[in-house]
């Protein structure tokens, strides 16, 4: 994998005495979808949040090792976390729009960056909503409250909000677990289209979603990265018995 954008090198994460991630080394290929799978508490969400330093807010969090984005250590003391998060956006499990209009939600990231050019903001909002496959559904009513949208629309709005600042990487933490099958299908279709321009790392509990969506899959178990490889290899013929037991549902 030569065209990687993210890399973790011997990453260990602790929450107080709990060793949450154990010596994780892994590369994430650019313009691909990488799925992180594993049972609850295996460390996959912790690992996802390592990439945009979301764990920094947790008091008991401690980390060693290196996390690189395009070769630069994102935990370097000179790294501006706000700048990092412009490059690495995040979408959460439950849609979390702000109690503002659709337009304001998408424009929010641009405004806090200090951008004031109205035409620029307008164009970027439209582009982001189009990329998130929501434009046609909301274009006539951009001033409507985001909270009035359906769950699936709200999640696509959150994706549009993340895209508005033009990140390189999108981190998604179970982005469809709160959605119905139709909304899930729309978000999955969107992820598939977005990978042409973005690198996506997604945490999912849904094995079929991981196999449908991702190019690479990483299986975590009790803080260890058990197996990482091309998704078709992981789901056709995993090399490690523990991976096989997990994906075939023989342990939870």
Partner 1 sequence: MTQLEQELKDLRIELLNMFIAVNKQLLKTEKAFFDFDKDIAYEVYNAEKRINALELKIDRDCENILALYSPVAVDLRFVLSVYKINHELERIADIAEGICKYINGLSKPFPSKAVEDVRIAEMFIQCKSMMEDVIVAFENEDTSTARKVFKKDEFLNEINEGGSANIIKNYNEQDAKSLFFLLSCVRKLERAGDLNKNIAEELIFSIESKVVKHQKKK
Q: List alpha helices for 7-80, DSSP H.
A: 44-50
Single residue of 207, 222, 230, 242 touching partner 1 by CB under 8 A: 207
Query: Interface with partner 1 by CB under 8 A: which range of 57-65, 182-190, 192-200, 234-242?
Result: 234-242
205 binds partner 1 per the rule CB under 8 A: no
Single residue of 211, 217, 221, 227 touching partner 1 by CB under 8 A: 211
- The phi, psi pair for 168, rounded to 5°, reads -90, -30
State which residue, 114 or 252, has the beta carbon closest to partner 1: 252
Q: Are 227 and 210 in contact (CB under 8 A)?
A: no
CA distance 228 to 238: 9
State which residue, 39 or 65, has the beta carbon closest to partner 1: 39
206 binds partner 1 per the rule CB under 8 A: no
97 binds partner 1 per the rule CB under 8 A: no
Query: Interface with partner 1 by CB under 8 A: which range of 59-67, 87-95, 124-132, 203-211?
Result: 203-211
Please, how many CA atoms are within 13 Å of residue 159, restricted to the half-sphere of its CB? 31
235 binds partner 1 per the rule CB under 8 A: yes
249 binds partner 1 per the rule CB under 8 A: yes
Burial class (CB in 10 A: 0-12, 13-18, 19+), 69: buried
238 binds partner 1 per the rule CB under 8 A: yes
State which residue, 77 or 236, has the beta carbon closest to partner 1: 236
- In the chain, the N- to C-terminal Cα span, in Å, equals 30
Q: How far is the CB of 232 from partner 1 (least distance, A)?
A: 10
CA distance 72 to 184: 34
Q: Are 160 and 187 in contact (CB under 8 A)?
A: no
CA distance 88 to 25: 19
Q: Could you list the residues that contact partner 1 (CB under 8 A)?
A: 207-208, 211, 235-238, 244, 247-250
């Amino acid at each position: 994998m030569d065209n990687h954008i993210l890399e973790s090198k011997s990453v260990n994460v602790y929450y107080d005495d709990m060793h949450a991630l154990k010596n994780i080394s892994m590369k994430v290929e650019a313009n691909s979808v990488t799925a992180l799978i594993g049972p609850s508490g295996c460390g996959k969400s912790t690992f996802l949040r390592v990439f945009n330093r979301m764990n920094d807010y947790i008091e008991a969090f401690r980390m060693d090792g290196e996390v690189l984005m395009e070769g630069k250590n994102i935990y370097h003391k000179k790294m501006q976390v706000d700048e990092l998060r412009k490059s690495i956006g995040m979408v959460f499990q439950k849609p979390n729009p702000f109690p503002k209009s659709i337009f304001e939600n998408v424009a929010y990231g641009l405004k806090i960056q200090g951008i004031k050019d109205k035409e620029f903001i307008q164009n970027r909002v439209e582009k982001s909503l189009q990329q998130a496959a929501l434009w046609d559904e909301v274009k006539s009513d951009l001033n409507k409250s985001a909270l009035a949208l359906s769950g699936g629309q709200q999640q696509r709005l959150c994706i549009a909000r993340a895209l508005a600042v033009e990140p390189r990487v999108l981190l998604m933490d179970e982005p469809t677990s709160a959605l119905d099958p139709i909304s899930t299908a729309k978000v999955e279709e969107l992820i598939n289209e977005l990978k042409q321009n973005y690198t996506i790392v997604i945490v999912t509990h849904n094995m079929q979603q991981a196999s449908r969506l991702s190019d690479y899959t990483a299986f975590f178990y009790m803080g260890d990265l058990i197996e990482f490889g091309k998704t078709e290899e992981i789901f056709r013929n995993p090399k490690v018995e523990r991976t096989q037991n997990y994906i075939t549902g023989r342990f939870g």
